Structures are given as structure tokens and as C-alpha cells.
């Protein structure tokens, strides 16, 4: 039986990556790997792992700086992080915990201990906000079931439009450029035609218009901000 959860292993030592990968596979987790902080950040933004195992010392930037960046950015702040490090001083552990990492494992460690720590952190984070339904007036998006309803009736939309709506509903009243929307919805390494974001915004508006009845214009909540991008407003015009 699989947990259907994905763990990102960020470590520049192949032997450690392999050892952890085998332990995760045995425990029923999927895994992916990164050797540098930059590669890790791209994977995290593009693929949204359920948890990150992050080595303190990495080529091209430290793990603690990456953890600080992830916890500072809204779109990645809720992804749990376990630091892996040979550093044993109390000051280093305090520094990691102050940044917001969820746990701290000192090398060398046993695979069984690491898997136990992973399970504990995932249990603690399983009730986080990204799994709870998001509601704006009578429009509800349920990440757990991957459904959108309006007045308790299903709203028919494609997977890209669903991801767009999820992004906007979790970041209301903020203006995002097309480039930023592309990075967060499609991924940082995906090439899109210039008008692709606009086309899918139009399709999302059409889906919301088709589902709307009397009262609030739900398509109108997704506003074009001239010269800047788009905003999802919870204050209908």
C-alpha cells in the first residue's frame, strides 16, 4: 500500500540520497531528488512535494537560507521541512527552528528514525489549510476532493482553470503579473505563448459565469488590473 505522498530529498551526497530513497520507497512514499538549493526551489514550486528533507550545507547556497525563503513565501510556507545536518550545536538547531523548519535530524541517522520523524511531521501538518475547503460567498473549492461548487452545484472547468481558481482564492485582494501566475500555476520551467494566461483566465470566467445565478457576479471577482495583471477580489463591484 502506498501513502501517495511525495518527499523531496535535497542533498549533494549521492550515497545519502540513495539511502533515503530506498527507505522512503520501503515505507510507501514516492521521492524525488535535488542536489542544489536552486534545483530544490524549482522542484518545490513546480511539483509541490508533501515534505522536504533539506541538507544544511548545499552547493550554491545553504539549506537554511532556502528554508528561510520557503517559509517566507506564501505559496511554499505550508510545506513541512526536516533539516538534515552534521551540525550538532544547540545554536544551529535553534537557528533552524527559528527559521520555521518542522524538525531537525542530525547525521548520522538510521533510516527507521528518519521515516518515523517524517510520519510524525506529516501527521502534524495533515490538517493544514491547503486541504481545507476555501469558500467565498457561495463559491467553494475543495482541495481534498478537487471539486468546485457554487450554491452546492458542481462547476464544470478544466484542470488548468481549477489550478488558477485555487491560486486566486488562496491569495485574495493581491495583484499578480502574468509571469507570476505562470510560475505558480504552470511551473517555472514551462514555456507558454504570450496570451496563454489570458486565455485560461477567460475560460475560468466563462465557467463561473455559466454557473452563476441571481446575485453576485462571480466571474467579476476575477479582475483585470490594467498594466499590472489580475486580482481575485472578495469585494464584488
96/74 Cα distance (integer angstroms): 19
Per the omega criterion (within 30 degrees of 0), is the bond before 108 cis?
A: yes
**What is the CATH number that goes with domain 134-232?**
1.10.10.10
Q: What is the pLDDT of residue 205?
A: 95
Q: Could you tell me the residue ranges of all domains in the chain?
A: 6-126, 134-232
Query: How do the pLDDT tens digits run along the chain, 237 residues long?
Result: 344 689 999 999 999 999 999 999 999 999 999 999 999 998 998 888 999 999 988 988 888 899 988 988 877 888 999 998 876 655 556 666 677 888 888 888 899 999 999 998 888 776 554 567 899 888 999 987 889 999 888 999 998 899 899 989 988 888 999 988 887 788 766 677 878 999 999 999 999 998 776 577 889 999 999 999 999 998 755
In terms of C-beta density within 10 A (0-12 exposed, 13-18 middle, 19 or more buried), how is residue 189 classed? exposed
Distances from the Cα of 21 to the Cα of 33, 50, 104, 171, angstroms: 9, 15, 18, 34
Contact call for residues 96 and 83 (beta carbons, < 8 A): yes
Q: What is the pLDDT of residue 1?
A: 36
Say which DSSP state 136 is in: E
Q: What is the pLDDT of residue 96?
A: 61
Q: What is the pLDDT of residue 197?
A: 92
Q: What is the pLDDT of residue 211?
A: 77
Q: What is the pTM of this model?
A: 0.58
**What is the CATH number that goes with domain 6-126?**
3.40.50.2300
Amino acid at each position: 500500500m502506498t501513502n501517495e505522498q511525495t518527499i523531496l530529498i535535497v542533498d549533494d551526497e549521492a550515497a545519502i540520497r540513495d539511502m533515503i530513497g530506498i527507505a522512503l520507497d520501503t515505507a510507501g512514499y514516492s521521492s524525488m531528488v535535488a542536489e542544489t538549493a536552486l534545483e530544490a526551489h524549482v522542484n518545490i514550486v513546480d511539483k509541490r512535494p508533501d515534505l522536504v528533507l533539506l541538507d544544511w550545507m548545499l552547493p550554491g547556497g545553504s539549506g537554511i537560507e532556502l528554508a528561510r525563503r520557503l517559509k517566507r513565501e506564501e505559496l511554499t510556507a505550508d510545506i513541512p521541512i526536516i533539516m538534515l545536518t552534521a551540525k550538532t550545536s544547540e545554536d544551529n538547531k535553534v537557528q533552524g527552528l527559528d527559521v520555521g523548519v518542522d524538525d531537525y535530524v542530525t547525521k548520522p541517522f538510521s533510516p527507521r528514525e528518519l521515516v518515523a520523524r517524517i510520519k510524525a511531521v506529516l501527521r502534524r501538518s495533515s490538517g493544514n489549510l491547503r486541504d481545507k475547503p476555501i469558500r467565498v460567498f457561495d463559491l467553494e473549492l475543495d482541495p481534498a476532493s478537487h471539486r468546485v461548487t457554487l450554491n452546492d452545484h458542481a462547476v464544470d472547468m478544466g484542470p488548468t482553470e481549477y489550478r488558477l481558481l485555487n491560486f486566486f482564492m488562496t491569495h485574495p485582494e493581491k495583484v499578480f503579473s502574468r509571469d507570476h501566475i505562470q510560475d505558480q500555476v504552470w511551473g517555472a520551467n514551462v514555456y507558454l505563448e504570450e496570451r496563454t494566461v489570458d486565455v485560461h483566465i477567460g475560460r475560468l470566467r466563462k465557467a463561473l459565469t455559466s454557473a452563476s445565478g441571481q446575485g453576485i457576479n462571480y466571474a467579476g471577482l476575477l479582475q483585470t488590473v490594467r498594466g499590472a495583471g489580475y486580482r481575485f477580489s472578495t469585494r464584488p463591484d
